[in-house]
């Protein structure tokens, strides 16, 4: 038994093309996982490498992980985020959200955490995407989104004042850079505000 296209739209089902963005991210992350430790060291956000001109690290650092458990944890998070807010924007707009989130994380870590030598992982970007989806939901006066916003704000507050959530470092297999989550939220939120204004036809 299936649903008609109209029924899928009314139920808020994600169209097939909407899975293009997370699909590409999953494919990249799993492919880079096969590169092992040498690949991770060559692709991670590395302060010395970036300073030496290895600018690709500003992007690839968000796609490589500490290991299998870290990769699978973040990819599961990506799928969850997509189910929660994936319908908030067209896939092309999600690319802008992702670019803005990554830029904010890179700038934040570079200037705001000068002692940080290297960073890997998708979690900062996931926070940016979730924040962008929340902005769209709040703009549409969604009560469910308000609850989600409270949960995310509470998580960020905990991380900034008490450190990583209990068990998160054990699960991921290394230190959790909580500032990346905050910077991701800032970047995702800023891009979302611009997209919402464009959607409403307001001047930027």
Quickly name the fold that domain 17-199 has: Rhomboid-like fold (1.20.1540)
Largest Cα separation within the chain, whole Å, is 58
Tell me: pLDDT of 9 over 50: no
d(CA 124, CA 200): 28
- 121 in Cβ contact with 180 (< 8 Å): yes
- 178 in Cβ contact with 171 (< 8 Å): no
| Listed residue (187, 59, 181) closest to 132, CA to CA | 187
pLDDT in tens, 74-131: 999 999 999 999 999 999 999 999 999 999 999 999 999 999 999 999 999 999 999 9
Domain ranges of the chain: 17-199
pLDDT in tens, 41-50: 999 999 999 9
Q: Is 204 helix (H, G, I), strand (E, B) or coil?
A: coil
pLDDT in tens, 27-44: 999 999 999 999 999 999
- CA torsion sign for 12, 13, 19, 25 is positive
| Listed residue (99, 102, 96) closest to 45, CA to CA | 102
Q: How does residue 201 score in pLDDT terms, banded at 50, 70 and 90?
A: confident
């Amino acid at each position: 038994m299936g649903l008609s296209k109209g029924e899928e739209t009314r139920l808020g089902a994600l169209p097939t093309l909407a899975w293009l963005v997370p699909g590409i991210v999953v494919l990249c992350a799993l492919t880079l996982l096969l590169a092992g430790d040498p690949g991770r060291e060559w692709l991670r956000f590395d302060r010395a490498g970036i300073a030496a001109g290895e600018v690709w690290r500003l992007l690839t650092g968000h796609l490589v992980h500490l290991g299998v458990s870290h990769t699978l944890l973040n990819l599961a998070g990506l799928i969850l985020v997509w189910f929660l807010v994936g319908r908030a924007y067209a896939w092309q707009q999600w690319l802008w959200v992702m670019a803005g989130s990554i830029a904010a994380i890179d700038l934040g870590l570079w200037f705001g955490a000068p002692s940080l030598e290297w960073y890997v992982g998708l979690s900062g970007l996931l926070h940016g995407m979730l924040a962008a989806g929340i902005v769209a939901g709040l703009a549409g006066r969604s009560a469910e989104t308000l609850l989600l916003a409270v949960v995310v704000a509470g998580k960020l507050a905990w991380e900034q004042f008490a450190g990583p959530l209990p068990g998160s470092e054990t699960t991921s297999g290394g230190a959790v850079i909580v500032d990346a989550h905050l910077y991701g939220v800032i970047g995702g939120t800023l891009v979302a505000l611009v997209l919402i204004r464009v959607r409403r036809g307001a001047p930027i």
